Homo-oligomer: A and B are copies of this chain.
Amino acid sequence: MAQQVIGQQSIQLQTPVSILSGASIVGKKEGEGPLGDVFDMVGDDPMFGTNSWEEAESTLQKETAALAIAKAGLEKWQIRMIYAGDLLAQSVASSFGIADFQIPVYGLYGACSTMGEALSLGAMAVAGGYAEHVLSVTSSHFGSAEKEFRFPLSYGNQRPLSATWTVTGSGACVLGESGGNAQIVGLTTGKIVDYGLKDSQNMGACMAPAACDTIYQNFMDFNRMPEDYDRIVTGDLGEVGQRILWDLLMEKGYDIRKQHMDCGLEIYDGKTQDTHSGGSGCGCAASVFASYILPKVEKGEWKRVLFVPTGALLSKVSFNEGKSVPGIAHGVVLESIEKGAE
């Protein structure tokens, strides 16, 4: 088997993997934001017709996955494996979301970086000849996540300005051996990076060092500069995390301000939507990727993009026990098919 590794922690796929479809479904608040028009569906009912926030998230994820499969022109049985994750304890949103599909599943946990992990492992499976088609999907729900990490919604606690707002949304992509107009050509697997920060209401600051680490390593491994990418897209650093990321990379000699974009800053209008530092959650990067980033690459408006969703690796228990909040970020290099053919 020919080696596909490059540099210290990256993979250069010898056979690029096609992204055949991207689908997104979000909640009402996300539908009212700046990207409201690009999502495939906006659910007016935050319960998505169910009786609990967790069931709501499962339904959201299931519908998004089904939509991605349909948009790829495929049937469920043509998907060989699903790579799925969410934010909830024991990833139950995914387990109950996709069980009905009766497709083999690898459950993932990378906090809000999970879509990067799901696309990475999915691409490795397709490029390795282990599957003709795979589905990568993640989700989050404001109701289920607030309850999991902070307080019950009815408690109505105040939120500091550095806090982010968990996106109610799901994004799914079907990856395949050929077809489509965008492809995954490289990966940079993230390390766990811990600067010792402990504020779960400032996750941008906790995750920025991990984003810096992965982006820097991507530049090193592929021997690239920021301008080699049309966009460098983080997941949910928000305003605070974005500034820290810029500063950290500047210290290493890289100015990414022209190329950088953060899904958490795109999805809400912070001024009018009271979302403080921005959006977050597994569904943030995933829904913005599927509905906004991917189409730009498919159309060739952006020839090459580095997508780097970031995750904060905390739990209620680790927080209550006074542990720090380590971060992780997984990098996925996308190219428009035209670019790949050059």
> Using a CB–CB distance below 8 Å, which chain A residues touch chain B?
1-5, 9, 11, 14-15, 52, 54-55, 80-81, 85, 87-92, 95-96, 98-99, 102-111, 117, 120-121, 124-125, 127-132, 147-148, 177, 189-192, 194, 313-318, 321, 323, 326, 328
Contact = CB atoms under 8 A, between A and B. Distances in A.
21 contacts: A1-B14, A1-B128, A9-B104, A14-B129, A81-B189, A88-B317, A89-B89, A90-B314, A92-B318, A95-B313, A95-B328, A99-B192, A99-B326, A102-B191, A105-B189, A106-B120, A106-B189, A108-B108, A109-B109, A128-B128, A128-B130
Nearest to A187: B130
A194 B58 CA distance: 15
A15 B129 CA distance: 12
Number of copies: 2
Given A110-B106, A326-B99, A315 B92 contact: yes
B128 A109 contact: no
A190 B317 CA distance: 30
Closest 4 CB pairs of A and B: A128-B128, A89-B89, A104-B189, A90-B315
Given A124-B125, A317-B89, A131 B96 contact: no
Contacts of A316: 89
User: A81, A88, A127, A130: which has the most chain B beta carbons within 10 Å?
Assistant: A130
